[in-house]
Structure 1
Amino acid sequence: MYLFLIETVIISLSGVMAPGALSAVTVAHGSSKSNAGLRVALGHGFVEIPLILLVYFGASNVIQSDLFQGFTRCLGGIFMLWLAAKLLRESRGDSQLDEVNQSSIRAGIILSLGNPYFLVWWATVGTSLVFKAAEFGLLGLILFAICHWLCDLVWLWILSFLAYTSGDLLGGRFESIITIVS
């Protein structure tokens, strides 16, 4: 089981460290709150843990279906375009942060639900990891979920901490770079 948990961490980091909306909002929130990444990860976990359980209890067929994938990509793509435009406007100072951006936990929930990459990752890579975890029984599933979520937690905390501490050194440049890359 130890090798599987190491594999879980390595594979999980491929999804966790990919630039995206969660990274961008974590850096944006982290510029004023060093622990914002912990809150974003908590919100993300509120979506991810039930999804892991759904896959474990048989919903993987629905998540992997062409209809679900197409719907997710279209809706998620529209959401991501809206979010990108919004972040660009806010980076220019054209608008105030709204409710989604005021709560790091809420941002983690909404951005996870609206991210097509997140659901595609779970329909493919994540599902195979859940099935492997199930080979070790309920304990394997629990340890898998903990290891995977800890990867999210640590990475998002690092991003928010760097955003918070780099404010003095780099001004808003770190946040701008991460927002553009994400």
Structure 2
Amino acid sequence: MDLLSFIAEVEAITVSGALSPGPLTVSAAGLGIRSGKRAGLLVSLGHMAFEFPLVLLISTGLSIAQSFKQLLSIIGGAFLLYFALTQIRSLGKVRIDASERNGNAFIAGILLTALNPYFIIWWLTVGAKLVMDSMQFPLGVMLMYALHVWMDFAWLTFVAYVFYRGSRLNESLLKAIMGILSLILIFFGLEFIYNAFR
């Protein structure tokens, strides 16, 4: 895989997860009503405080166990397909609850990341495949994580700012974006599985 293909893979897979209206998005929206974009930044920092050590741990283990690449490709591809189909089925229910919340945004970012089983599963399957792909480049893990995490910061800060301004995201537009991202997930899921047997 060349560098540009790798960058495209990381960005496409990351955006599909970062823009999903999950716990972190809801937290950034609720806390952003009172604190503005600062809340989004703090939620992102809390998210990164748990995520980055996890990525380093995965990269350490994978450097020892490269033989699991085929299995991880299959599992990661299957999870992407499952996640995409779940998103498509739930498009009629997509809503971002902007109810006001109290608490520290940084701590919220850590807890909503650490206590989200889907986040852990994602990094142990789909994310692990990205980590493995990154190892063919100098400082590849650091590059992969930088390509990944900037989108979390951008999205959560944007959501916090929008709700601080008293706006609402257009749900029809959000559903359309989620539908497109689900199709991208399906493409990468099939590609992961195909590459496992190639």
Tell me which interval the TM-score lies in, with the shorter structure as reference length: 0.5 to 0.7
Moved beyond 3 Å, runs of 4+: none
Aligned to 2:157: 157
Aligned to 1:75: none
* CA–CA distance in structure 1, aligned partners of residues 4 and 55 of structure 2: 20
Paired amino acid for 1:143? L
* CA–CA distance in structure 1, aligned partners of residues 143 and 4 of structure 2: 10
In the TM superposition, residue 117 of structure 1 has moved relative to its aligned partner by 1.1
In the TM superposition, residue 6 of structure 1 has moved relative to its aligned partner by 2.2
1:86-132 Cα offsets, whole Å, 9 max, x none, are xx9x94x9xxx5xxx42111100000000011111111110100000
Matched, 1:147 2:147: yes
Paired amino acid for 1:134? M
In the TM superposition, residue 3 of structure 1 has moved relative to its aligned partner by 2.4
SS of the residue corresponding to residue 150 of structure 1 reads helix
Match for residue 2 of structure 1 among 4, 14, 18: 4
Aligned to 1:25: 27
Matched, 1:113 2:121: no
Aligned to 1:124: 125
Paired amino acid for 1:58? G
1:12-43 Cα offsets, whole Å, 9 max, x none, are 11111112111111000111112211110000
- How much identity, in percent, do the aligned residues show? 36
Unaligned runs of 5+ in 2: 73-96, 176-198
Give the alignment's TM-score, normalised by structure 2.
0.63
Give the alignment's TM-score, normalised by structure 1.
0.68
Q: CA RMSD in A?
A: 2.5
- 8 A Cα contact 1:47 1:112, kept in partner: yes
* CA–CA distance in structure 2, aligned partners of residues 159 and 20 of structure 1: 12
In the TM superposition, residue 162 of structure 1 has moved relative to its aligned partner by 0.8
Aligned to 1:57: 60
Aligned to 2:76: none
- 8 A Cα contact 1:13 1:151, kept in partner: yes
Aligned to 1:40: 43
SS of the residue corresponding to residue 20 of structure 2 reads coil
* CA–CA distance in structure 2, aligned partners of residues 2 and 140 of structure 1: 13
Paired amino acid for 1:53? L
Aligned to 1:67: none
* CA–CA distance in structure 2, aligned partners of residues 15 and 45 of structure 1: 15
Unaligned runs of 5+ in 1: 65-87
* CA–CA distance in structure 1, aligned partners of residues 41 and 4 of structure 2: 26
